[in-house]
Amino acid sequence: MTLLSTNDVRDRFSKAMSAMYQAEVPQYGTLLELVESVNQETLSQQPELHRRLEAQGELARLTVERHGAIRVGTADELSMLRRLFAVMGMYPVGYYDLSEAGVPVHSTAFRPIDDDALAMNPFRVFTSLLRLELIESEALRQRSEEILAKRDIFTPGARELIERHETQGGLTSEEADQFVTEALETFRWHQDATVDLDTYQALHDEHRLIADVVCFRGPHINHLTPRTLDIDEVQRRMPEMGMNPKAVIEGPPRRDCPILLRQTSFKALEEPIRFAGDAQGTHTARFGEIEQRGMALTPKGRALYDQLLNEGRKQTAGLDNDEYQRVMQDVFAKLPDNDEAMRREGLAYFHYHLTAAGQAVKESAGQDMEVLIEQGLVEAQPITYEDFLPVSAAGIFQSNLGGGKNEAYAGNANRGAFEAALGVQVTDELSLYAEREDASKAKVLADLQG
């Protein structure tokens, strides 16, 4: 029996999900066309960027790269999702407390971890668990628990194939296709709510996100995000394509050497819903998001980023995107804006590899990495940030949920409870970047020794 690699299952699933979402949200197709156009223009205008992305294997993954986002309501749902994503070689990385920005969820990102898997298809799903304990009304909290207890967001076929993957160590090609079909049902949009209009309205008034999680048969995918090389240009062109962008781009400002993650979106769609009892209404949940990824920062770099972001946010309330970006660029002037300075100051993670000249000299070279770089024998390329930013994620959520924010939720991180619900500990994302950097250095030195 030939079993398919988890990378292949993930690739099939992400492409099927993209096709499903495009059929459900036609503007997503328009968004993909816009991103593709901007990416091609950027690559033609910046040959050095083209060379670097090609050398790092980033070009091949650019066109397939997506991240999705879902929100679930119970520990059982989250734990089963962990098993579902494992079929696709995706594992929980990072803990994100969105209560710090007034959103009653905490989250992780299911994603591939090793270099080969990321290079083939870096599909990620940002997955949030509703925190019912943060709902102030005891009656609403109990009603939510009762509603969630009655639903099963997984098909019997999906459950069976997940168990088969676990017992036989993988799926055959035919089983993988069946798995993709069954698993997609968890992420599909449903126009019928499972509650009456009054219940929906009560949960909606507490927080729109609570209504979105509790009132439907499943955790419909609420966005799929392509990766762009110039998010400012995509933001500028969205209105020309009939899309209404959010007010500002989340994350760091535009830089010559991008860092971490920048995100924007077009506003969520208002969609018709039929409630129990045949009442008609609307629900706003699904939107189009775009991201631009930069280099992963070390703990030192991340501390400086967080400090500057907090400074900038205090100065930018109510500003339009142009003014917001101008102020943020001034604030972020304290962070070096070239790769070499970022590397020398230990602010970002890098992947080290031999150049053509380094391959030629091999054993005659020394072992001092800085000397090898100066001699042109070794090149250091920034490692791409594969993860997320809690403040940016919350900003995207709020802009597409009517801007609702509840200060009562703030500052309620509970990683232990999240991991208990998940069934495993989440992997620390910074340790993954450090391991990749260390492994690349060790390989360079080993290669030089022959």
Give tens-digit pLDDT for 158-192.
999 999 999 999 999 999 999 999 999 999 988 88
DSSP-assigned states of every residue in 322-380: HHHHHHHHHHGGGS--SHHHHHHTT-B-EEEEE-HHHHHHGGGS-S-HHHHHHTTSEEE
Q: How many CB atoms lie within 10 A of CB 277?
A: 9
By percentage, how much of the chain surpasses pLDDT 90? 52
Structure tokens of 43?
Answer: 């690559």
The whole-model pTM stands at 0.90
Question: How far apart are alpha carbons 21 and 187 in whole angstroms?
Answer: 9
Is residue 410 scored above 80 in pLDDT? Answer: no
* Residue-level pLDDT at 285: 67
Question: Rounded to whole angstroms, what are the CA distances from 103 to 41, 100, 137, 363, 402?
Answer: 37, 7, 16, 56, 12
Q: What is the pLDDT of residues 77-86, one digit of tens each?
A: 999 999 999 9
Is residue 145 scored above 60 in pLDDT? Answer: yes
* Residue-level pLDDT at 392: 57
Question: How far apart are alpha carbons 313 and 327 in whole angstroms?
Answer: 9
Q: Return the residue matching tokens 């042109």.
A: 376
